[in-house]
Amino acid sequence: MAALFYIVAGVAVLAALSVVLQRTPVYSALSLIVVLCSLAVLYLLIGAEFLAVIQVIVYAGAIMVLFVLVIMLLNARRETPGDRSRLAPLLGAPLLAVFLAEFFFVIVKQLPRGSESSAAPLDSGPAAIGGLLFRNYVLPFEVTSVLILVAILGAVVLAKKEL
């Protein structure tokens, strides 16, 4: 089980790097689909079957179709290299070191101290998620809905051709 976790996590990290490093937007979108499917497998490994299915249907399916549609509407081509800043190489390495130190500090702080595991079983059924979503998180849910609506309207405005 642990070996499968490390394999899937490695695939997710490599695909995430591919999202950032690709020069073609369509290839980046395809790499993002691999990341989202790897996350679904990780959800399956922790016993959250409902979240895994939702991850594939909503994110890897519907959201990625929207991403690819926007890429096609904008007629995005291969990225052309531009003039690089002289300051970027000087600040890049120290900022990366600070980020990694902070990242590892947070990870170490979250590790359990003793040998006992106090993790509660994850209840990821539709009733539990719906209860949390519509009781505790109704405002963030509605704000996200409005944000998605604004993003769709923005994509339509950007894609609209001048007549």
What is 114-132 written as a DSSP string?
SS---PPPP--SHHHHHHH
Would you say residue 32 lies in a domain? yes
In the predicted model, what is the mean pLDDT of residues 143-161?
Answer: 79
Would you say residue 106 lies in a domain? no
Structural domain range at position 64: 1-78
74-to-18, 77, 156 alpha-carbon distances in Å: 21, 9, 10
Sequence-separated (6 or more) residues with CB below 8 Å from residue 47: 121, 122, 124
Total domains in the fold of the chain: 2
The C-alpha atoms of residue 148 and residue 63 are separated, in whole angstroms, by 10
Would you say residue 119 lies in a domain? no
pTM: 0.60
Q: What confidence score (pLDDT) does residue 111 get?
A: 76
With cut-offs at 50, 70 and 90, classify the pLDDT of residue 64: confident
In the predicted model, what is the mean pLDDT of residues 129-157?
Answer: 83
Q: What confidence score (pLDDT) does residue 23 get?
A: 83
* pLDDT tens figures, 83-131: 667 777 788 888 889 989 998 888 888 777 765 555 555 666 788 878 8
Would you say residue 36 lies in a domain? yes
CATH number at residue 3: 1.20.120.1200
In the predicted model, what is the mean pLDDT of residues 64-89?
Answer: 73
Q: Note whether 71 and 2 are same-domain residues.
A: yes
Q: What confidence score (pLDDT) does residue 163 get?
A: 47
